Structure 1
Amino acid sequence: MTMQHQPVETGSGPTLLAEEPTRDSWPGVGIVIGGRSPSRMAWKRVRQDKVTMTALVITLLFIVIALLAPVLTWLTGWGPITPDNKAINPDTGNQPYGSLGGISLQHLLGVEPGTGFDLFARVVYGLRTSLFVGFASAVVSTVVGVVAGLAAGYFGGWADSLLSRIMDVMLAFPQLLFIIALTPVIQNALQTDSHGGTDENLRLLVLVLNIAVFAWAYTARLVRGQVLSLREREFVDAARIMSAGRRHILFRQLLPNLWAPILISFALAVPQNITTEAALSYLGVGVIPPNPDWGALLSDASQFFLQDPMYLFVPGVLLLILVLALNLLGDGVRDALDPRSHRG
């Protein structure tokens, strides 16, 4: 019986892994023997974890709903800023007609008190806003953190000292307070007559950048620690002996061995960023009305809680489910990529 192997570099150095399955050479025996890549083994662990798979399905469902928001609202006949004055009663302070906030076949989740906006349309479009800010800021912070962590861990010396002190300073900042203070200042500085977009779009860009600026240090600290360990491994020494340049060592030797902690960091950053964006909108420094946002919906709903509890209940529960699913998915990814961890 023969099997072909090739060296594969991992976080613990080069190991042997079967490249392609081969058949037994004995006549009449058709046993296929092959190795599994780390990604396949991780995916197998994810599939075997019912909690992680449930979280994955819920997350994908939310993403599909956000992508199909225009189609879903077209089917219902109401947009996020299309009022239905016939659904609210002016004699009761524009409260929705009927029970449970005006839930009916025409308005699946009811209507907003005061405005008459369809709550289903507001929630669906608000989901797009939350997911965009959460994922976009996580991408930016991860890219910046990976580059800074690679540089600090590999070069060492004054570069490591400088970048490490910057990380310490960023981690010491009270993130939410500084974002609240800086968001309107940065927007006013960027606001011109030719910025190429609406004020709402500019505010989204400012939110993404502000959240990313205060989040990249977590990823950088994690990557730096991994690089400090990997740079002393035999496969890095072998690359140096073969006169490999720094770019090759950084991006062809070290970076491929960091995909697991980077993916874990990204998966855990998304729900945190969504929560931060919702908190900013709740405090009035997030998404600009009339753009829908779950944090702004919660802020408005708090004024009508006694008259219309469903107005607060719907976006609040959906935000809880989304963040919980993303957190459980991030924990599952971490467990799947770390063979030594086991869910209790």
Structure 2
Amino acid sequence: MTQQPQPIDATRETPSPADESAEAPQSPQPAGGAPAIAGRSPGRMAWERMKRDRVTLICLGVTVAFILIAICAPLLAKVGGWGPITADSKAINPDTGNYPYGSFGGISAKHLLGVEPGTGYDIFARVVYGLRTSLEVALSAAVISTVVGTVVGLAAGYFGGKLDQILSRIMDIVLAFPQLLFLIALTPVIENALQTNAHGGTNENLRLLVLIINISVFAWAYTARLVRGQVLSLRGREFIEAAKIMGAGRRHILFRQLLPNLWAPILISFALAVPQNIATEASLSFLGVGVVPPNPDWGAMLSTAAEFFINDPAYLFIPGILLLILVLALNLFGDGVRDALDPRANRS
């Protein structure tokens, strides 16, 4: 027996879309009405880790302050009223062997950090200009060594085979050299081959260029070894195989696929190379094969101050303490960057 259709009740209301949405099950909301968690980039997460590390933030502030002082060196020297190689003969006493008048190395309103014994140069002007010289050499050498080391490490790790063996042996040889000893030996040799100025001395810009190149020659191998190890662990990953299947060339894989995944170790290597280069440059100037006198440099100031330490210890302590603060701040900041970029690092 067939079922008869039921008549439509005209008095019954058709549910509205608003009613349907009200009756539909709602998606679960976070507890307490909190907003959904948004994705964060690795750089942002690293910065948030750094902000929780007070030591790293303090070292970052100290580093930025030193960089600003180096950039503003001409302005600061002009405010002080003395240039880095402008002597004040009235500030030294010829009766005491040209030592500064007064105590603490002649510190006064006229000379904020005193004057150099024997020459009468203003120490404040020489300190700020010497900081500029140290940072120029250190940063330039760090950039060159990082770029060269990154390219060599990429090539050795990705291509492998005989190229990897040759480049790895070159890295081993460079790392085995006693860097400071060879820099001391090579700098005078290269200096003798350089064009001399009208006074028979080496041109200052050429000497700085020699320092940058010499330091870079021995520093790139550390970055190359680090990058090579990272590339060896990445070249067999799925995204590299997918790029090969899609027909990507070697240049695309190296610089568009691998290199973006290496920015963290490269940045760490650069951050740790800068303080090492500053110490190396100061050591070379201290030993007499760095910046050409009388151009200002902290290492050269320490070398000269050793002769006057008994009667004028302030001249040794001022550049020595500043060099210690700068290198220590850069090293601790580099360690903080390494910890912030490494998600597996142990943090309190």
TM-score by length of 2: 0.88
Question: Does the C-alpha gap of structure 1 residues 184 and 38 become closer, same or farther in structure 2, counting only changes over 3 Å?
Answer: same
Match of 2:324 among 320, 328, 333: 320
Match of 2:166 among 143, 162, 166: 162
Partner SS state of residue 214, structure 1: helix
Match of 1:36 among 21, 36, 40: 40
CA RMSD of the aligned region, Å? 1.8
Which range moved further: 183-192 or 149-158?
183-192
Identity percentage over the alignment?
74
Match of 2:339 among 332, 335, 339: 335
Match of 1:246 among 237, 246, 250: 250
CA-to-aligned-CA distance 1:81-111 (integer Å, 9 cap, x gap) = 0000010000001000000000000000000
The one-letter code matched in structure 1 to 2:299 is G
Match of 1:49 among 42, 46, 53: 53
Partner SS state of residue 268, structure 1: helix
Residue 184 of structure 1: CA displacement? 1.8
Matched, 1:61 2:65: yes
Alignment of 1:191-270 (within 5 A): 191=195, 199-270=203-274
Residue 189 of structure 1: CA displacement? 2.3
CA-to-aligned-CA distance 1:227-251 (integer Å, 9 cap, x gap) = 0010000000000000100000000
The one-letter code matched in structure 2 to 1:223 is V
Residue in 2 that maps onto 1:78: 82
Structure with the bigger percentage of strand = 1
Matched, 1:181 2:185: yes
Residue 185 of structure 1: CA displacement? 1.4
- Output the CA distance in 2 between the equivalents of 1:93 and 1:214: 42
Question: Does the C-alpha gap of structure 1 residues 35 and 227 become closer, same or farther in structure 2, counting only changes over 3 Å?
Answer: same
- Output the CA distance in 1 between the equivalents of 2:137 and 2:285: 12
Partner SS state of residue 316, structure 2: helix
CA-to-aligned-CA distance 1:31-84 (integer Å, 9 cap, x gap) = 354110000000001111000000000000000000000000101100000000
Residue in 1 that maps onto 2:275: 271
The one-letter code matched in structure 1 to 2:168 is S
Residue in 1 that maps onto 2:24: none
Gaps of 5+ in 2: 1-26
**Are 2:86 and 2:122, in contact at CA under 8 Å, matched by a contact in 1?**
yes
Residue in 2 that maps onto 1:108: 112
Question: Does the C-alpha gap of structure 1 residues 55 and 30 become closer, same or farther in structure 2, counting only changes over 3 Å?
Answer: closer
Residue in 2 that maps onto 1:14: none
Question: Does the C-alpha gap of structure 1 residues 180 and 113 become closer, same or farther in structure 2, counting only changes over 3 Å?
Answer: same
- Output the CA distance in 2 between the equivalents of 1:299 and 1:326: 23
The one-letter code matched in structure 2 to 1:177 is L
CA-to-aligned-CA distance 1:190-221 (integer Å, 9 cap, x gap) = 32679xxx701100000000000001000000
Residue 188 of structure 1: CA displacement? 2.6
The one-letter code matched in structure 1 to 2:45 is M
- Output the CA distance in 2 between the equivalents of 1:32 and 1:84: 67
The one-letter code matched in structure 2 to 1:265 is S
Residue 339 of structure 1: CA displacement? 1.1
Residue 186 of structure 1: CA displacement? 1.7
Partner SS state of residue 66, structure 1: helix
TM-score by length of 1: 0.89
The one-letter code matched in structure 2 to 1:315 is P
Residue in 2 that maps onto 1:172: 176
Residue 290 of structure 1: CA displacement? 1.2
Residue in 1 that maps onto 2:143: 139
Gaps of 5+ in 1: 1-23
Partner SS state of residue 236, structure 1: helix
Matched, 1:288 2:281: no
Residue 126 of structure 1: CA displacement? 0.2
Partner SS state of residue 289, structure 1: coil
Residue 139 of structure 1: CA displacement? 0.4
Match of 1:148 among 148, 152, 165: 152
- Output the CA distance in 2 between the equivalents of 1:130 and 1:86: 30
